[in-house]
């Protein structure tokens, strides 16, 4: 991964003023940081600033919400995208998780203020407050229908809510520690949860019953992901006949990001191990990119790309800073990652530059959700930011 470029978090506002300036830097691994600045030379008739870069940097292109800058010496370039809009009134404190419904109409988010809320994705207007968890809500997501929400809390409870009237329709009990992440199997008849108690469990939503402990690893499970396995992967067969209440678990893999520096992958229905990979630090998050490729992020800033068919050697390890990797999301033919230093970036195979989603100033970006060409992030600064990829 090339040397990352960084920019002043509020560059779009700063460069709107005549002679306004914004700082810029390039961080080649193992070499001194290169510092520079951007200066506004005036505003064009179209409202777009004319911007020049200091020595060592070049402005390739600029419009109202994005600027493409390169550092020829290190042969790197980044396109920085400013938020299209920012929602500051949903929560008062740090926002730990968010998701957007499949139709793009609603958002759900949980916060360190103890609340979980449903809001209009277009303008951040509050729709519903979901009350019922004791203590903090760690994770929340929509079911594929977009009408129902799944949440997990520090109270060791997993809950299902109606997005329409905010009623809690199901509560799952069984975990002995806070629930840190969830995954939905297929259309959502079954769900998976990972907990601080070291177990991952499979649940039957219709009967609000636990269908089994899929893994018991003695270490906090920080992230879980379910993915459809490529035909070439042997998932093994279950030792016991699966319950008829298991729906859509066959040919699925379960990935667990563990606090003890281990990344564990197993067959969801077979419960058989596929691999155990040891990383550089605690794994915080994980996601599948395809039927055999996956990503996992660590507390010390490494993003491992692994191939399930040959997991011993990573396909690549991306390291842009030592800040914890907070979230990973498959996106188009690449992925979006967010880190504890406020950086949030998109890597795509066909682009020779990274797209940086700017706005957070050193505050961790905990979660990212997408809908079509819109990207939503939530941050410790209490803001939900919405980016329009069409602004590129």
159 and 250 in one domain?
yes
User: What is the value of pTM for the model shown?
Assistant: 0.97
Cα–Cα distance between 384 and 85 in angstroms, integer? 9
pLDDT mean by block of 10 residues, the chain; 392 residues: 87 94 94 96 93 97 96 95 97 97 97 95 97 94 97 96 96 97 97 98 96 96 98 95 95 98 98 98 98 98 98 96 97 96 93 94 97 97 96 67
101 and 51 in one domain?
no
CA torsion sign for 19, 25, 26, 31 is positive
Confidence at residue 131, expressed as pLDDT on a 0 to 100 scale: 94
The count of residues in the chain is 392
116 and 42 in one domain?
no
222 and 330 in one domain?
yes
Confidence at residue 1, expressed as pLDDT on a 0 to 100 scale: 57
Instruction: Name the one residue in this structure whose structure tokens are 């089994």.
Output: 212
DSSP-assigned letter for residue 7: E
Burial class, 91, CB count within 10 angstroms (exposed 0-12 / middle 13-18 / buried 19+): buried
357 and 340 in one domain?
yes
213 and 106 in one domain?
yes
- Contact between 314 and 320 (Cβ < 8 Å): no
120 and 51 in one domain?
no
270 and 255 in one domain?
yes
Q: What is the CATH number for 216?
A: 2.130.10.10
Which strands make up the sheet holding 344-348, listed edge to edge? Answer: 58-62, 66-71, 76-81, 354-357, 344-348, 334-339, 325-331
Range of the domain at 25: 5-81
195 and 71 in one domain?
no
Residue 86's alpha-carbon distances to 143, 191, 194, 366, in angstroms, are: 25, 32, 31, 16
89 and 77 in one domain?
no
Cα–Cα distance between 186 and 209 in angstroms, integer? 18
257 and 169 in one domain?
yes
Number of domains into which the chain is organized? 2
- Contact between 280 and 261 (Cβ < 8 Å): yes
Which among 81, 107, 141 is the end of a domain? 81
373 and 286 in one domain?
yes
Which among 55, 81, 107 is the end of a domain? 81
Which among 51, 81, 111 is the end of a domain? 81
């Amino acid at each position: 991964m090339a040397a990352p470029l960084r920019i002043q978090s509020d560059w779009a506002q700063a460069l709107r003023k005549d002679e306004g300036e914004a700082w810029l830097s390039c961080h080649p691994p193992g070499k001194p940081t290169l510092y520079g600045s951007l200066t506004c030379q005036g505003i064009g008739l179209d409202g777009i600033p004319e911007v020049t870069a200091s020595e060592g940097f070049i402005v390739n292109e600029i419009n109202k919400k994005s600027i493409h800058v390169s550092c020829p010496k290190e042969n790197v370039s980044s396109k920085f995208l400013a938020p299209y809009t920012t929602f500051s009134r949903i929560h008062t404190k740090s926002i730990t998780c968010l998701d957007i419904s499949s139709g793009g109409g609603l958002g759900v988010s949980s916060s360190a203020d103890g609340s979980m809320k449903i809001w209009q994705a277009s303008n951040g207007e509050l729709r519903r407050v979901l009350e019922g968890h004791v203590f903090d809500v760690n994770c929340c997501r929509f079911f594929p229908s977009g009408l129902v929400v799944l949440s997990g809390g520090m109270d060791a409870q997993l809950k299902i809510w109606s997005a329409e009237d905010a009623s809690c329709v199901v509560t799952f009990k069984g975990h002995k520690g806070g629930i840190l992440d969830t995954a939905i199997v297929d259309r959502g008849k079954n769900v998976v949860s990972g907990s601080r108690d070291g177990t991952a469990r499979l649940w039957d939503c219709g009967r609000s019953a636990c269908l089994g402990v899929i893994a018991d690893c003695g270490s906090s499970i920080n992230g879980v992901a379910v993915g459809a396995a490529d035909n070439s992967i042997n998932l093994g067969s279950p030792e016991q006949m699966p319950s008829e209440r298991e729906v859509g678990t066959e040919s699925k893999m379960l990935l667990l990001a563990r606090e003890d520096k281990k990344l564990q992958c197993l067959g969801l229905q077979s419960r058989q191990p596929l691999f155990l990979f040891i990383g550089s630090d605690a794994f915080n998050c994980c996601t599948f990119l395809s039927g055999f490729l996956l990503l996992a992020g660590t507390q010390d800033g490494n993003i491992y790309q692994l191939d399930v068919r040959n997991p011993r050697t990573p396909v690549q390890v991306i390291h842009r800073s030592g800040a914890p990797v907070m979230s990973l999301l498959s996106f188009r033919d690449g992925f979006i990652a967010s880190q504890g230093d406020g950086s949030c970036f998109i890597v795509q195979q066909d682009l020779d530059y990274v797209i940086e989603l700017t706005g957070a100033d050193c505050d961790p970006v905990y979660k990212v959700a997408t809908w079509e060409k819109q990207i939503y992030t939530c941050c410790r600064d209490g803001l939900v930011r919405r980016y329009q990829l069409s602004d590129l």
